[in-house]
Structure 1
Amino acid sequence: MTKAKAAVFASGTGSNFQALMDTEHLACEIVLLVCDQSDASVIEKAAKSKIPTFIFNAKAYPSKEAYEKQLVQKLQEVNVSWVFLAGYMRIVGPTLLQAFERKIVNIHPSLLPAFPGKDAIGQAFQSGVETTGVTVHFIDEGIDTGPIIAQESVAILSGDTEATLKQRIQQVEHALYPRVVNQLLQSSSNF
């Protein structure tokens, strides 16, 4: 049986991209990295894994719709059926959402609906809550408001700094995301 083809969208270091690439028996084949930052270190990770990369500068396009149309075209050219966001720092618009309905998944470093948007780890750390975590969810029109697929808690310890908390959250992300990706693809192939 041939594996579904997937793209990963990332804007930064790509630790979740690498976690997916390092997963033995991943239920999909990652065939494209899409990145909106030409200096992001995820690009080097993709090159080492021999994954083609499409880099775009959103400011070079007249609108979000214009660059998303180009992204949809690129994804269709390589027969992508799933999109996994891994530190992609742009809000996905209607053009991509319609082309990949219920097929765009994000990982977020908090227990949504708490601490949506940017700097979720910092928000949780500053707020004084005792527990935060990781959420994997489908993307919708909002910011981190899509249907939740899976969550895992991470305690905020008394000696934590933002850096130590981030490190523990990333360890959870790197285990949870590949597991959820496999569950999603295996359940979708049963239909």
Structure 2
Amino acid sequence: MNLVLLCKRHNHRKVLEILAALRAQHLTVRGIVALERREARPSFSEIVRKLYYRRQERNAQQMPASLPSFAANGRLHLANPYTDDVPVVKSPRPSLQSNQTYTSVDEYVRAHSIPLVAVPDLNGAECVAALQKFQTDLVLLGGTPIIRANVLAVPKVGTLNVHMAWLPGIRGMNVAEWSVYCNAPVAVTVHFVDAGVDTGAVLYREKIDVSACRSIAEMRQKLSTQQHLALAHATRLFIDRQIQPAAQTQASGKQYYIMHERLRHIVEKKLQEGLHA
């Protein structure tokens, strides 16, 4: 099966971790398609995120110095529809430790003779042509803007993304933080990409133990590494026909948006006190 990695910045640490995780699963990509090396025009979501965090900085001085202890006042009691068991696949998943010999993606692709194609637009005709040239069966997303239907139509099997929360329960933005806030399992989900937002068929889900994480930054760092491992692991299992995708319904989940700074402080407090799902 021809795998192609699609990414916004080819030399990003995320891409190197995905390649290393695939290698640990005895998988390699047929090629990498990335944006050209130039200052990328920010997407609408990036502009919104930047403006939002600027506002957060302005509001930071208005936050109380401390928040009530959840140990004393109890946890947030919100509806939790995410308690069904995760299907467990009894197969080992290698770590990335044996693959940390490469310092850049450029070094990795040279060592493994992997073609790298730079395109001006990941949703443009050049990207479509590159995927067609690679005779792509399965696209793996390694950090991209929203991918449009013309690109999604190229791979014979589909396009896989990894989501930093449990699907279909929590879709959208800041989903790891919302998982903690809603007392939902902290998890990663590998899913096929369709025209919706995080609505494609679910291929693989895995709960992640973040009990040792005492901040949002620590939690997201752990989830970042684990989601790359999960993407490679799910790809291997799918190729070996050990797992099959399960369709979502639009009504089966909820869309979440950028979390307000006050709610982020609540999440930080819960993590500090170990009071998370």
Instruction: Normalising by structure 2, report the TM-score.
Output: 0.53
| Aligned: 1:177 with 2:231 | yes
| Aligned: 1:138 with 2:135 | no
Where does residue 80 of structure 1 map in the other structure?
Answer: 136
Deviations 1:27-61 (A, max 9, x none): 4x312222237379xxx833111233233333xx9
Alpha-carbon distance, 1:14 to partner: 4.0
RMSD over equivalenced CA pairs, Å: 2.9
Where does residue 33 of structure 1 map in the other structure?
Answer: 32
Partner SS for 2:169: coil
Distance 1:19 1:97, change over 3 A: closer
By relative contact order (CA 8 Å, sep 6+), the higher-ranking structure is 2
> Residue 15 of structure 2 contacts residue 105 of structure 2 at CA under 8 Å; is this kept in 1?
no
Equivalence map 1:71-150=2 (5 Å): 71-88=127-144, 90-100=145-155, 102-125=157-180, 127-129=181-183, 131-150=185-204
Query: Relative to structure 2, which stretch is displaced further, 162-171 or 110-119?
Result: 110-119
Partner SS for 2:204: strand
Alpha-carbon distance, 1:108 to partner: 0.9
**Aligned partners of 1:130, 1:79: CA distance in 2, in Å?**
40
Q: Between the two proteins, what is the percent identity of the paired residues? A: 18
Long gaps (5+) in structure 2:
40-102, 243-277
Distance 1:16 1:110, change over 3 A: farther
Alpha-carbon distance, 1:159 to partner: 5.7
| Aligned: 1:167 with 2:188 | no
**Aligned partners of 2:150, 2:178: CA distance in 1, in Å?**
30
> Residue 138 of structure 2 contacts residue 156 of structure 2 at CA under 8 Å; is this kept in 1?
no
- Give, as a single letter, the amino acid of the residue that structure 2 aligns with 1:106: N
Partner SS for 1:178: helix
Partner SS for 1:49: helix
> Residue 119 of structure 2 contacts residue 126 of structure 2 at CA under 8 Å; is this kept in 1?
no
Aligned with 1:57 (options 101, 120, 131): 120
> Residue 154 of structure 1 contacts residue 169 of structure 1 at CA under 8 Å; is this kept in 2?
yes
> Residue 8 of structure 1 contacts residue 17 of structure 1 at CA under 8 Å; is this kept in 2?
no
Partner SS for 1:80: coil
**Aligned partners of 1:57, 1:16: CA distance in 2, in Å?**
18
Alpha-carbon distance, 1:25 to partner: 4.6
**Aligned partners of 1:99, 1:20: CA distance in 2, in Å?**
22
> Residue 187 of structure 2 contacts residue 208 of structure 2 at CA under 8 Å; is this kept in 1?
yes
**Structure whose alpha-carbon radius of gyration is higher:** 2
- Give, as a single letter, the amino acid of the residue that structure 2 aligns with 1:72: V
Where does residue 19 of structure 2 map in the other structure?
Answer: 20
Query: Relative to structure 2, which stretch is displaced further, 160-169 or 93-102?
Result: 93-102
Equivalence map 1:149-160=2 (5 Å): 149-157=203-211, 160=214
- Give, as a single letter, the amino acid of the residue that structure 2 aligns with 1:103: G
Long gaps (5+) in structure 1:
none
Alpha-carbon distance, 1:70 to partner: 2.1
Deviations 1:155-182 (A, max 9, x none): 4548621111112212422332211111
Task: Select the structure that is richer in strand.
Answer: 1
